[in-house]
Amino acid sequence: MHIYIQRNNGISITRQIVLAVIDQILSGFLQEGEKLPSVRVLSKQLNVSLLTVVKAYRELEQQNFLYSVQGSGTFVRKKNNDIETACIEEPLTQDWQLSVPDYLPRSQLAQFHHVPQKIHLASSMVDPELLPNRHLKTAFEHLIQEDGTFLSRYGHTQGDQQLRLAMQQYLSGLGVYTQIENLLVTNGSQQGIDLIARTFVGPGDVVILEAPTYPGAIDIFRNRGVTILTVPLDQEGMRLDILQQLFDKHHPKLIYTIPNFHNPTGVLMSHKRRRKLLEMAQNTQTLIIEDDPWGEIYYDQHPPAPIKSMDEYGHVIYLKGLSKILAPGCRIGVLSASGSIFKRVLAAKANADLGTPLVTQKILLPFLEPSIVESHMQNLRTTLKIRRDLALEILSERCPKEVSWMVPQGGLNLWLSLPEWVQSHLVLAEANKKGISFLPGSSCFSVEHENHHIRLSFSFVSQELLREGITTLCEILAGIILSRKNSHSSPYF
């Protein structure tokens, strides 16, 4: 167990330990029944007083996250809130491993991605039925018959040249004009964020995230040991007035933003804010990561041009994911940056894995023909808009009035805000019983958790299942809200 203690960020050390342990429990990193390090061991590891750890553990017990057994130790409480006797799954012979500290305070995504639920509303993924499977198959069969030697060759660390050429053209259609020398093929956008983080930030550096934001990015920056500061969003995207206040007090090194149909809220950043954000970064020599996983999936009008399109001096590192909207099985993304910033990220890629597999790049290549890919995006927009509208319709009809949401103009997600006393991970436990999954909002917050939000992805399941899932979820929420009205012994608050 690793907890980065920051002694100058205004949050007490006890509170930092509490938040970190909650984080590890909610993210599934500490599992039900698992034993925590003893007070003595943790206080030594973190170089804090015994009393600090005692207070933190006591608070966690009061919040029902932990329980202690006299003479045995402190354990993670089961989600059903029953007190359990200690259960340790690991063989005792491997107990010594617990004394090996690590650098991994958080890993939200390991657990939510593959929960085998009938109605999967948890991951921002596109229904496989809507993806160009058949086309990719046929094109790949041709390719492999013509020349299958790419199976036995390593690709270039930077990525296949033909794919970079195709991506150069594709990105120009989005307003990002770049050279193939400034493109790096990555194993999805997740790796792109990770490469940038490992190259440029570490303990002592300040990184700005939107709150809420993509959990995978939080994991990455938390694991780099940086100081994370957050900026909330309004209808136009990141609140730049609050960002300015942070700039006045701190020297951020990096800003991570998702301007197009922000994950998880769906907010679209306005053109004016994009320009202003870039100016602020230029004035302070701050790097911007512009993550754009689904800017193509707009339901009304085309989003404003990417921040990268205005980037004259190399402040913006632009990430375009292709996995979600084209071929998840290939997990391909592309990163565009310039100058020494690019060169250093490329070197980090060599360290990380020496290069993205050539095969996945070659499979994607034929599909990037402009007419083909544009027609696919057009179809996706049409079909997903129908699903979004269906989801909104059911919510309007069935959802308790205490729950609110915004209509997303694009992307794959709906962001529901529940009454503050409802804990979304307890709602999730109920939903799981009915075969439904979603992403609890706490995953999307990096510092103080707001635990009363839900991210629903309407893009993965069929219309039929979507209807069933959201209807059931509305019933669950209604039941919870009703139970509060009837009783004060509900486990939800």
Contacts to a copy of itself from residues 233-252, by CB under 8 A: none
Alpha carbon distance 174, 371 (integer Å): 14
Quick one: tokens of 176?
Answer: 């990002």
CA 193, 197, 200, 201 torsion-angle sign: positive
Of 51, 69, 87, 347, which one interacts with a copy of itself (CB under 8 A)? 347
β-bridge mates for residue 436, sequence order: 119
Stretch that binds a copy of itself, among 343-351, 383-391, 437-445, 449-457 (CB under 8 A): 343-351
For residues 30 and 60, is the Cβ–Cβ distance under 8 A? no
Question: Minimal CA–CA distance to 315: which of 252, 239, 226?
Answer: 252
By the rule CB under 8 A, 317 interacts with a copy of itself: no
Give least dist CB 31 to a copy of itself, A: 9
Please say which residue, 256 or 405, places its beta carbon nearer to a copy of itself: 256
Our finding on whether 188 is near a copy of itself (CB under 8 A) is: yes
Q: Looking at 118, 172, 302, 329, which residue binds a copy of itself (CB under 8 A)?
A: 329
Binding residue for a copy of itself (CB under 8 A) from 200, 405, 415, 438?
Answer: 200
**Which residues, other chains included, contact 156 with Cβ-Cβ below 8 Å and sequence gap of 6+?**
355
Residues 386-415, interacting with a copy of itself (CB under 8 A): none
Please report the beta strands in 118-243, taking only residues with DSSP state E, as ranges in sequence order. 119-121, 183-186, 206-211, 227-234, 237-238
Q: Which of 246, 310, 348, 476 binds a copy of itself (CB under 8 A)?
A: 348
Pattern 24-43, a copy of itself, x by CB under 8 A: -----x--------------
Dihedral sign, Cα of residue 235, residue 241, residue 242, residue 243 = positive
According to the binding rule CB under 8 A, does residue 336 interact with a copy of itself? no
Instruction: Mark the segment that binds a copy of itself (CB under 8 A) among 244-252, 258-266, 320-328, 418-426.
Output: 320-328
Q: Looking at residues 72 to 111 of the shown chain, list those that interact with a copy of itself (rule: CB under 8 A).
A: 90-91, 93-94, 96-100, 102-104, 107, 109-110
* Residue placing its CB nearer to a copy of itself in the complex, 198 or 484: 198
CA gap 3, 17 in Å, rounded: 7
Nearer CB in complex with a copy of itself: 141/374: 141
In angstroms, give the least distance from the CB of 140 to a copy of itself: 7
**Coil, strand or helix: which one is 173?**
helix
- Specify the residue, 329 or 370, whose C-beta has the smaller distance to a copy of itself: 329
Q: For residues 175 and 109, what is the distance between their CA atoms, to the nearest angstrom? A: 31
Residue 359 binds to a copy of itself (criterion: CB under 8 A): yes
Question: Comparing C-alpha atoms, which of 392, 210, 212, 377 is closest to residue 302?
Answer: 377
Q: Does 157 bind a copy of itself (CB under 8 A)?
A: yes
The reply on whether position 328 binds a copy of itself by CB under 8 A is yes
Least Å from the CB of residue 417 to a copy of itself: 27
Token digits of residue 49: 């007083």
Q: What is the DSSP letter of 488?
A: S
Question: Rule CB under 8 A: is residue 319 a binding residue for a copy of itself?
Answer: no
- Residues in region 425-464 near a copy of itself by CB under 8 A: none
Token couple for 435: 């075969």
User: Residue 140, interface with a copy of itself (CB under 8 A)?
Assistant: yes
CB of 418 to a copy of itself, least distance (A): 27
What is the Cβ-side half-sphere exposure of residue 353, based on CA atoms within 13 angstroms? 15
Could you tell me if 2 and 17 are in contact, meaning their C-beta atoms sit under 8 angstroms apart?
A: no
- Where helices occur in 300-447 by DSSP H, the ranges are 339-353, 358-364, 370-398, 424-433
Q: How would DSSP label each residue in 39-71?
A: HHHHHHHHT--HHHHHHHHHHHHHTTSEEEETT
Q: How many residues bind a copy of itself (CB under 8 A)?
A: 89
**201 binding a copy of itself? (CB under 8 A):** yes
Using CB under 8 A, which of 344, 398, 425, 484 touches a copy of itself? 344
Give residue for tokens 């940086």.
226
- Rounded to 5°, the CA angle 411-399-479 comes to 130
Q: Which is nearer to a copy of itself, 70 or 97 (CB)?
A: 97
- Residue 121 in tokens: 């509303």
Q: Which is nearer to a copy of itself, 313 or 421 (CB)?
A: 313
- Please report, as residue ranges, which positions from 205 to 224 form the binding site for a copy of itself (by CB under 8 A): 216, 219-220, 223
Q: How far apart are CA 51 and CA 66, in angstroms?
A: 17
Nearer to a copy of itself, 256 or 492 (CB): 256
User: Beta strand pairing status for 73-76 and 66-69?
Assistant: antiparallel
Kindly state whether residue 113 participates in binding a copy of itself, applying the rule CB under 8 A. yes
Residues 276-295 that bind a copy of itself (CB under 8 A): 285, 287
Contact residue for a copy of itself among 23, 43, 75, 155 (CB under 8 A): 155
